[in-house]
Amino acid sequence: MNGPAWPEDRVPVDVAVGVLVRRSPHGQEAEFLLTSRPEGKVYAGYWEFPGGKLEQGETVEQALRRELQEELGITIGAAHPWKVEMMDYPHARVRLHFCKVFDWTGEFEMREQQAMAWQDLPVQVQPVLPGTLPVLRWFAEERKHAGPTHVG
């Protein structure tokens, strides 16, 4: 677990996170999408994988489908559960449910005035949200990437 130690009774907020990955012409995983956190939100300007909180009764995939439609204007295909990571931030403890997404329809619309960037390792945009760093390490392991995963 990352961040400061918190009492175990601090209830985590479940968050669905979309790791949108474009495939290369050879079918290999290539660039992934990062978006900036919009003004007015905690960690505004930091880069992260898009997603949001699960609402009452939603599954991770339902929440991810809803959030990416609301935030980015796209409709995703299958969400492939990948990893779960607990993060402690000063404002909340979050349980991040990372899902890889390879298929979507629609044109990207930054509906919260955020920015988007297709990236590869090492990630060039900065600053990177702490909850994004484990994903970059996982990509480095999968892709046998040596060296830093991000600048800054």
What would the pLDDT profile of 76-109 be if each residue is shown by its tens digit? Answer: 999 999 999 999 998 899 999 999 999 999 999 9
- pLDDT at residue 9, as a whole number: 61
DSSP-assigned beta bridge partners for residue 80: 100
On whether the CB atoms of residues 122 and 149 are closer than 8 A, the answer is yes
- Residue 59 CB contacts under 8 Å (≥ 6 apart), including other chains: none
Rounded to whole angstroms, the Cα distance separating 145 from 81 reads 22
Residue 37 has pLDDT above 90, yes or no: yes
Q: Which residue has the tokens 């079918």?
A: 27
Residue 1 has pLDDT above 60, yes or no: no
For residues 41 and 28, the model is more confident at 41
- pLDDT at residue 129, as a whole number: 95
